[in-house]
Amino acid sequence: MKITIVVDNEAENGLKKEWGFACLVESNEKVLFDTGASTEVLAHNAEKLGIKPQAIDKLVISHDHWDHTGGLNWALQNKELEVYILGSFSSQLKQKLSGFKVIEVKGLTEISKDIYASGPIESADKYRLYEQALLLKTANGVVIITGCAHPGLEKIIEKAKQLGNVQAIIGGFHGFDKLEALYGIELIAPCHCTVRKKEIEKMFANKVKKCKAGLTLEF
């Protein structure tokens, strides 16, 4: 499986950066996870990376915050797109997806061969935000891709363990501070909104991969 970071707060030369996140998983099918904060940046980076909306089979949205849904119009140029959302998403977002094949994920669901949507994971704070992660089952373990990890990265890791040992974790970690939960994970790529990025990079120096738009990883 190949993972390409398409939108992030940092970017390689020639790509644009913004406060947002999107990545593409390529296996038997191409699965886009989140769409960044704007159509402009997603479209620019996708073109530079040779990614066309018509080539994407499925879109998974982690949660319906603007910095993960802002580039939705770019993806929706593909009228055959399957979109995986949560029932808790806003009526405005659901209306925008009218006419598309929309699947509301209610639990751990295989959406393509060895690619799973975690289903809703609830945050423990007063906002009761629901978010889903993308889980990839590989020969060497499970690769987790998160949008913002609002529910807590440790909860997402526990969910992923239903599929096997966690090999890698990539994406936004938000305010996650239970860093001991990362012990034993071979590759860590904190992206986007990770508050303790520098602390994680120092603590797991030999395991951290610096995240930026244009980064590719293969598993």
Q: pLDDT tens digits for 31-58?
A: 999 999 999 999 999 999 999 999 999 9
Query: If pLDDT is split at 50, 70 and 90, which confidence band does 207 have?
Result: very high
**What's the pLDDT at 23?**
98
**What's the pLDDT at 174?**
94
pLDDT greater than 90 at residue 74: yes
Q: What is the pLDDT of residues 5-17, one digit of tens each?
A: 999 999 999 999 9
Nearest to 84 by CA among 66, 65, 67, 100: 100
CA distance 185 to 181: 9
pLDDT greater than 90 at residue 123: no
pLDDT greater than 90 at residue 22: yes
Query: If pLDDT is split at 50, 70 and 90, which confidence band does 146 have?
Result: very high
CA distance 104 to 106: 6
**What's the pLDDT at 58?**
98
Its pTM stands at 0.97
What dihedral angle (degrees, nearest 10) is formed by the CA atoms of 213, 66, 51, 18?
Answer: -30
pLDDT greater than 80 at residue 126: no
User: Is residue 51 within 8 Å of residue 31, measured between CB atoms?
Assistant: no
* Sign of the CA dihedral running 205, 37, 54, 138: positive
Range of the domain at 183: 2-218
If you average pLDDT over residues 105-129, what whole number do you get?
A: 91
The total number of structural domains that make up the chain: 1
* Residue 155's CATH number: 3.60.15.10
According to DSSP, the residues that pair with 136 across neighbouring strands are: 115, 143
**What's the pLDDT at 128?**
80
Query: If pLDDT is split at 50, 70 and 90, which confidence band does 131 have?
Result: very high
pLDDT greater than 80 at residue 79: yes
pLDDT greater than 80 at residue 141: yes
**Which positions ≥6 away from 58 have C-beta within 8 Å?**
29, 30, 31, 32, 81, 82, 83, 84, 111, 112
